[in-house]
Amino acid sequence: MQPNVTRPSQRSFDQGREVRLIRHFTKHAEGAVLACFGDTQVLCTASVNAGVPRWLKGQGQGWITAEYGMLPRATHTRSDREASRGKQGGRTLEIQRLIGRALRAAVDLKALGEFTITIDCDVIQADGGTRTAAITGGCVALVDALRSLQRDRKITQDPLKQLVSAISVGMYQGQAVLDLDYAEDANCDTDMNVVMTETGGFIEVQGTAEGAPYVREEMNAMLDLAAQGCEFLVNAQRQALREP
C-alpha cells in the first residue's frame, strides 16, 4: 500500500468530497432533498401514496420503492433519454433496485402500514458516486415523508428503524481510496459500493474488479474506509434532519 499516491482530485486517500443534503429543495413532494457529493447532484424526492402493490395487499404492511434516472446531459456527453428510447437500461434498473433494497432496510414496513413511499432519484449533474448520493439523500427524503405521515396522523408510530447511507471506495494505483469521483472511477482497478446502517452493519456490499482482481487484504482496506465514510455521512444526515 502506498498511502502517498496522488489522487486526481488531490484529496488524501481517506478524504471524501464535500457533502450537502439540502432539504425542501422542491415544494410538492413529502420529502425533497438535493444530495451533493462534490459536483455530483442528485434530486431525491419521496412521494407517499395510500395503498400497496397488488402482491402485498392485505398483509398490513407498507412498501418502499425507488426509481433512478439521469437527465440526458448530466454527463460529459449527452446520453439518450430513456423515455424516448422506450426502456430503462440495465444500469438504471440495477441502481434503482439497489436503492430500493437499501432504503427498505431503514424502515419497519409493518409500522408503516399500507402506504407506499416512492423515492425518485434524478441525477442533475454526474461526477461519480450517483448511487451513493441517491441512497444517502433518499434516506433523508424518506425520513421527511415518514414525518409528514406522522404529522398528518396517518400513522401513529415512527417506522424508522435506522438511518442508512452509502459510499464508494476503490483501489486506485494500489491504494484504497474513499469516495471516487468520475476521473478516479474511470481509472481505478476496483470499484466498491457499500451501504451501511448508522450502527455500522452492512446492508449491501458490491465490489467489482474492473482491472486486476483484488485480494482479501485490499478488500479489508476498502471496507475500513467505507465504514469511516458512512459514519461521516450519517452525521451529515442527522445534521440535515435537525433543521426545521
The only residue of 1, 50, 93, 186 in contact with a second copy, by rule CB under 8 A: 93
Alpha carbons 244 and 227: distance in angstroms, whole number: 28
**Does the annotation list 7 as a binding residue?**
no
Of 6-14, 90-98, 147-155, 228-236, the window that binds a second copy (rule: CB under 8 A) is 90-98
Residue 4 CB, shortest distance to a second copy, in Å, is 25
Element (H, E) at 226: helix 216-242
Per-residue binding letters, 108-147, with a second copy (x by CB under 8 A): ----------x-x-x-xxx---------------------
Give the residue carrying C-alpha cell 398490513: 60
| Cβ neighbours of residue 211 closer than 8 Å, sequence gap 6 or more | 188, 189, 190
The only residue of 205, 231, 235, 241 in contact with a second copy, by rule CB under 8 A: 205
Total residues found in the chain within this entry = 244
Of 78-86, 130-138, 172-180, 234-242, the window that binds a second copy (rule: CB under 8 A) is 78-86
Give the residue carrying C-alpha cell 455530483: 40
Closest CA to 159 of 225, 112, 218: 112
Helix, strand, or coil (residue 6): coil
**Does the annotation list 130 as a binding residue?**
yes
Of 5-13, 129-137, 210-218, 228-236, the window that binds a second copy (rule: CB under 8 A) is 210-218
The only residue of 16, 62, 69, 229 in contact with a second copy, by rule CB under 8 A: 69
Taking CB under 8 A as the rule, does residue 72 contact a second copy?
Answer: yes
Closest CA to 37 of 155, 170, 135: 135
Element (H, E) at 26: none
Task: Evaluate whether 134 touches 122 at the Cβ level (below 8 Å).
Answer: no
Task: Evaluate whether 155 touches 112 at the Cβ level (below 8 Å).
Answer: yes
- Residues at the annotated binding site for phosphate? 91, 129-131
Would you tell me which residues interact with a second copy (CB under 8 A)?
A: 26-29, 32, 39, 41, 43, 45, 47, 49, 67, 69, 71-78, 81-84, 86-94, 96-97, 101, 105, 118, 120, 122, 124-126, 192, 196-197, 199-209, 212-216, 219, 223
